[in-house]
Every structure is written in structure tokens, then in C-alpha cells.
A and B are shown apart, each in its own frame.
Chain A
Amino acid sequence: MKFKVLKLNGLNDMDEPIKYEIELRGYVTIVSGNSGTGKTLLCDIVKQHISDGNTKFIVIDATSRGLFDLTFLKNKKGKIIFIDDADLMVSRKILNYILKDRNNYYVMFRRDNYDVHLSPNYYATIVWDTRNIGHFKYDCEVVGWY
């Protein structure tokens, strides 16, 4: 199993450096956890990368309402797509597409995962090694479940 590793550096509003070192185990990663752990902050950092010209990333959040649908996703190839507030933004139909899509990587920030058919190996939370270095901590790591 080859994992995709992302290293994202960015700044917060007051120009303090923040770093995320993220391991993506599969095409879909679902990140949940307590409020205030840095999920939206991660999306903000990715947005900085996009505004700096990185075309590999896409961020979908509350402000994308109306711009994001199935056709939008079907036209994307080789992207890493971060979806904040995915409980609100992702309908059942779009979720079914995302779970089968092998053209893009998805990182969804989502809490209600009752009917999401995905291996427990792909569920993570954000933890901070030091004050400003965050990474994904996966709930499970079972070889047979990849």
C-alpha cells in the first residue's frame, strides 16, 4: 500500500507559520473529531496554496454553495479535493460518486458517517505534534481492511 504524503506550509491571519504533514491512505479520507482541532484551518492553508497557483488542490466549503455539484466533480482529474462542512455540502448522490471515484483524492470533514461504506482505516482526526505542526491520526490500521 503506497500512501500519498502532503506537506502543506501556510500562515494564519497574523502570519504565524503553520505546517500540516498529511498522509492520505486512500482515495477518500474522512476527518472528524472535536471542534477547534484545525479542520477549517487546514482548508484555509490549502486555499493559500491555491491562491499561490497550485492547481492540484480544490477546496469546497460553505462559500461554494451552488457552485459544487456532480458535473463539477466529474470534470476533475488528478485533484486533491478538500470538502469542509461535508455534512452540509455533500448530498447522498454526490457521496456515492465520491466513494467510487478513482480519478481524484478526497478529504472530507464530516461527522455523520452512519451510512458511509468505507473501511475504518480511512477515518482520521487532526492532532498537533507541536504548537504548529498538525497531522492526521487514523482511528484504525488493519492490513486486511485496505
Chain B
Amino acid sequence: MLYRKYFQGSNIIMNINLKFKREINSIKSKLNAIDYEFIKRIDNAEVKIIDDRLYISTPHGLAGLNKLSTGCKACILANHLNNKLINLTLCGENAIISLFELIPNSSNSFLLTHNEFQPANRYSFNLNNSVTGNLFNLWDTIALEGERR
């Protein structure tokens, strides 16, 4: 489920960077092919293990997992958490597209407050069993869903 507006709830992950920092140790041991693909697509990086330590090889050199982009962190969290509402406000379009493509049936919900989301024109979204591909229909439907809650 996509939401357009913020609402109070205990399952909300608003600050992706802080959540990732807290979860990094448990996530490190569970990284899978989907995570590697996120890292490759979004940050143009690869995971490397050097002296038993995990690094990402980015276009700007080697770095720790904590140096992944916020968008990439959000996608990795979405891959490892269930039934949460994840704030995608800090994610770029490339990260959001990767998320929808690689985890099409996520158990998580997402908060998307971008005032522009150009790729929406190229995709169709299934919202409450009705398929919409038009950007404005999409936003209207999401806004309605937010208000209903």
C-alpha cells in the first residue's frame, strides 16, 4: 500500500538512516541477492568481503555499508522488515523504481510524499484491486486512501 500523507502509528519508520544504523549488524549477516541488486542499481556499487569485513566498492572508492545512499538503505530495510510503514520521502526516483521492481509484493507499506514522480507514467500500480497508470489518478487514489485512514 502506498500512502501520500503521514499519519501516526507505531509501525512507521520515518528516519531511514537512524533505523539502518540500528539494524545494520543484523542485516549484515542476512544480505541476499536482492540487496546486492539494490546496491548495484542504486549506488552503482558492489559488495566485497576483505579480511572478513563487508565493504561496498563504489565509484568513489571502498566504504562501509553505512555509507550506502539513503534510498539504498530504505530498499534494503524494506527487503528485511515486514508489515512496516516505510518513509520513502528521502529516496530518489531510481531507488523507488528499484524497490517496486525488485519487491513487487512487499508486506510493507510506503509513504511517498514526492510532489513529482515522473516514472509513475511508465508504470501501472495496483491499488485496492484497481489498476491505475496515470500519475494524477495515482496521487488522487493515494490521497483518498490516506484520508480514509
Do A62 and B60 touch across chains, with their CB atoms under 8 A apart? Answer: no
- Please give the number of chain B residues whose Cβ is less than 8 angstroms from any Cβ of chain A in the complex: 32
In chain B, what residue has the closest Cβ to A88? B15
A36 and B63 CA atoms in complex are apart in Å by 13
Interchain nearest-CB distance for B131 vs A (Å): 26
Partner of A88, one of B89, B92, B114: B89
| A35-B42, A35-B69, A62-B15 known; A111 vs B89 contact (CB < 8 Å) | yes
Interchain nearest-CB distance for A41 vs B (Å): 7
Do B69 and A40 touch across chains, with their CB atoms under 8 A apart? Answer: yes
Most buried by B among A38, A39, A62, A63: A62
A61 and B113 CA atoms in complex are apart in Å by 19
Whether B79 is near chain A, meaning CB under 8 Å from some CB there, is no
Interchain nearest-CB distance for A33 vs B (Å): 6
Q: Which residues of A contact B54 (CB under 8 A)?
A: none
Partner of A112, one of B59, B89, B93: B89
| A13-B67, A34-B92 known; A18 vs B114 contact (CB < 8 Å) | no
A39 and B55 CA atoms in complex are apart in Å by 20
Most buried by A among B43, B44, B69: B69
Do B94 and A41 touch across chains, with their CB atoms under 8 A apart? Answer: no
Q: Which residues of B contact A132 (CB under 8 A)?
A: 60
Do A34 and B94 touch across chains, with their CB atoms under 8 A apart? Answer: yes
Whether B17 is near chain A, meaning CB under 8 Å from some CB there, is yes
A63 and B66 CA atoms in complex are apart in Å by 13
In chain B, what residue has the closest Cβ to A38? B60
Whether B95 is near chain A, meaning CB under 8 Å from some CB there, is yes
A128 and B45 CA atoms in complex are apart in Å by 16
Q: Which residues of A contact B91 (CB under 8 A)?
A: 35
Q: Which of B45-79 contact A (CB under 8 A)?
A: 45, 55, 58-64, 67, 69-72
Partner of B62, one of A13, A41, A65, A131: A13
Do B15 and A36 touch across chains, with their CB atoms under 8 A apart? Answer: no
Q: Render B13-56 as a binary contact track against A, CB cut-off 8 A, 1 for contact.
A: 01101100000000000000000000000111100000000010
A46 and B39 CA atoms in complex are apart in Å by 24
| A111-B89, A113-B115, A114-B115 known; A36 vs B44 contact (CB < 8 Å) | yes
Do A131 and B59 touch across chains, with their CB atoms under 8 A apart? Answer: yes
Interchain nearest-CB distance for A142 vs B (Å): 20
| A85-B17, A88-B14, A111-B89 known; A12 vs B61 contact (CB < 8 Å) | yes
Chain B: residues with CB nearer than 8 A to chain A? 14-15, 17-18, 42-45, 55, 58-64, 67, 69-72, 87, 89-95, 113-115
Can you pick out 6 interface pairs between chain A and chain B where the beta carbons lie within 8 Å of each other? A13-B61, A18-B60, A18-B61, A36-B45, A40-B69, A65-B18
